[in-house]
Structure 1
Amino acid sequence: MSTPTPRAGLGLVQICLAGILWGTGGLGVQVIRDRVPMSVLTISAWRMVIAAAVLLVVLLALRQLRGLGTLVRTHPTRVIVTGCGTAAYQALYFGSVVAVGVSVSTVVSLGLAPVLLTVAESVRRRSAPTLGQVAVLVLALAGLVLVSLAAGAHDPGPHPTLGVLLAVGSGTTYAATTAIGRSLTHTTSPLTLTTATTTVGAVALLLVAALGGSLTTGSGDATVTLTLLYLGIFTMALAYGLFYAGLRTVPGSAAVIATLLEPVTAALVAAVWLDERLGVAGIVGTALILVAVAGLGRRQPEPAVPPG
């Protein structure tokens, strides 16, 4: 296989970093919920609000607000769909976790996205995936299953059928949002795109949380406030900025495989800070995902889309 271009290599690194940052989010949510009875929907809403506020301040400081206005004016539908989709797949995933447990939710939602995008890209190119692409995908999915099982959803959840349906919805929305977001990366900067979609997502989640009567705050708890700031700045603003920056040179299917470093990071964080055992399955699964991500850097360039 050919060596990736420097830009593609940098893009893959950026997306891997985004996945690692996302993987630390679970610990942050647990820290908050150990101190205050805040729902995951409310945490997600405040996380996006903080991220949007920080990103808007950065845009203002860099005098790039005009680019934000241009993006919203020229691509309003795609910006709204991407922003609402980002909020939706997170909410659907959290709902699935409550209904069916972590393992099934993670495998279905995160496993479905790369499959859907690989199929979509093959249809667009009018050619089957290469043997290398299939091998990377199989390795990644096998690793995901093992890591998720090691994460140990000992409680299968009270509503397994509903949970699987929510996970399917989350994975499908994640795939669609990635594809639409990637189409916008070539028309604007990652910072502008992240700001626009995060602001839309924040408004959507705030409305849902408010209508559900769950829009609470940390009641002045310093630890909760600092944790929310971390979640908003690092796992949302910075992570999505890196993700969209990487999407400019990395295909969507490869990007979502690279972000499987999220459950790997979450498992490692739990092992270090929460004293949860990773186990043989977790170690093997982590190794398989790392091999798959390494394989992404050796994939052949994507074939051009046939004319017409």
Structure 2
Amino acid sequence: MTAEPRPRDFALVALGGVLWGTGGLAGAALADAADLAPLTVAAYRLLGGGGVLLLGLAAAGALRGFARTRPVVVRVLATALLAAVYQAAYFAAVQRAGVAVATLVALGAAPLAVAAGSTVSTRRLPAPRTLAALGLALAGLVLLVRPSEAGPRAAVGALLALLAAVAFATMTVLNRRGVPGLGPLPLTATAFTLGGAALLPVAALTGSATTGLAVPSDVDGWLLLAYLAVVPTAAAYGAYFTGLRHVPATTAALLALLEPLTATVGAVLLRGEQLGLHGVLGAGLVGAAVVVLRPRRAGSPTMDAPGRAAGHLSRSDAARAGSANTSGVVRASDPREGPAPR
């Protein structure tokens, strides 16, 4: 049975977006401080974030029930590949186009990709409120990103950011539904660790002798690396994938627009970038898109799941479905275990 979106799940996805917004800033600062290549930063971020989650889950004994079925292995490997592509393309875009432009393009294009994928898979258009939020978000992003300021290097960065957007959108749609025996935190921990490990040899082969797999040489560099691993990676993705189980994919991708909004504000405050009147208006429109999508009350559906949408059962339907539990067709979720695999 698919649970209706709850304010708690909405808040978790939104929290992930806000925390991600500090990732580009921290990654750029780390690359500058330690002279690291974008692929190396991406590899360290995934390895660090995945490793932190693995250690925490192992200490809590949460990995003992980790299933090793074919669906679980396929999901972990697919998520690892998508995470590696997303992070590598994103940090390469940051190096060429800057934090604000790379983040805005990557996350601004993601909702469109998710909406297109969801429309094809479900054969129905997003609900009116979601379409309105998409329009607000796109208008805001157009104002935040000034095409007149883009040069050849920034254009390459924008293309890399688009690749990152496709990878992120695919990862969001893929993980909208769980698989039996694989919770969101074990998925994040194992997939990110594998994704980071896969990027290490690529970074070593493509980087120079000094920027290949170099490590920070001072305390500030290690603090930046620790922050990048824990806050915008382990904590952010853990919150995002946990809330994603009950939040429609298009809504989640739109909530992820809090990342470029946070990144833009951070770039203005910490890196001295100018936002201007157009930027302030654009940031306001992106924020309005998130407000439009928020659940009105506990248990209220988002616009991608209005009323009795596909997958939502009435009480009588649920009662009839409950009798099928012994066959494993439908299983209600236990609040202590998290959402039932769907």
TM range (shorter): 0.7 to 0.9
SS of 2:17's equivalent in the other structure is helix
Specify the code of the residue in structure 1 equivalent to 2:10.
L
* Correspondence for 1:52: 50
- Match of residue 156 from structure 1: 151
Matches within 5 A, 1:98-177: 98-99=95-96, 105-149=102-146, 154=149, 156-158=151-153, 160=155, 162-177=156-171
Aligned to 2:318: none
Q: 1:24·1:235 contact (CA, 8 Å) conserved in 2?
A: yes
| SS in structure 1 of the partner of residue 6 of structure 2 | helix
Structure 1 pair 240/103, CA: closer, same or farther in 2 (3 Å)?
Answer: closer
Within the alignment, does 1:229 sit opposite 2:226 as a pair? yes
TM-score under structure 1 normalisation? 0.86
Give the partner amino acid of 2:73. P
Of 209-218 and 244-253, more deviation after overlay is shown by 209-218
Partner of 2:245: 248
Deviations 1:15-54 (Å, cap 9, x if unpaired)?
1111111111222123323322111221121122211221
Give the number of the structure whose residues are more often helix, by fraction: 1
Maintained 8 Å contact 1:47/1:232: yes
Report how far residue 203 of structure 1 moved: 1.1
Give the corresponding residue for 1:217. 215
The residue identity in structure 2 corresponding to 1:181 is: N
Secondary structure of the equivalent of 1:182?
coil
Task: Name the CA distance, whole Å, in 2 between partners of 1:190 and 1:21.
Answer: 17
Asked if residue 304 in structure 1 is aligned to residue 302 in structure 2, the reply is no
Q: Which amino acid aligns with 2:186?
A: T
1:237-286 deviation digits (Å, cap 9, x = unpaired): 01100010110111111111101111111111122223333211121111
Indicate if the aligned counterparts of 1:113 and 1:256 stay in contact, CA closer than 8 A. yes
Is the 8 Å Cα contact of residues 101 and 155 (structure 1) preserved in structure 2? Answer: no
1:121-165 CA-partner distances (Å, limit 9, x unpaired): 22333222232221111101111222333xx994524373x5454
Q: 1:281 aligns with which of 278, 282, 295?
A: 278
Shift of 1:223: 0.2
Any gaps of 5 or more consecutive residues in structure 2? 296-301, 313-342
Q: More deviation in 283-292 or 183-192?
A: 183-192
For 1:181, the equivalent position in structure 2 comes to 175
Output the aligned Cα RMSD: 2.6
111-120 vs 51-60, which deviates more? Answer: 111-120
Distance in 2 between residues matched to 1:100 and 1:35, nearest whole Å: 18
What residue ranges of structure 1 are gaps of 5+ in the alignment?
A: none
User: CA separation of 1:153/1:203 partners in 2, compared to 1, >3 Å: closer, same or farther?
Assistant: farther
Give the corresponding residue for 2:92: 95
- 1:89-138 C-alpha deviation (Å, 9 max, x unpaired): 12122334445666664454323221122122223332222322211111
State the alpha-carbon separation in 1 of the partners of residues 227 and 161 from structure 2: 26
Equivalent residue, structure 1, for 2:38:
40
Residue number in structure 1 paired with 2:13: 15
Number of matched residues?
Answer: 297
**TM-score after normalising by structure 2:** 0.78
Give the one of 22, 25, 35 matched to 2:23: 25
CA contact (8 A) 2:104 2:260 kept: no
- Greater Rg by CA: 2
* Distance (whole Å) between structure 2 residues aligned to residue 262 and residue 227 of structure 1: 18
SS of residue matched to 2:134? helix
CA apart distance, 1:58? 0.7
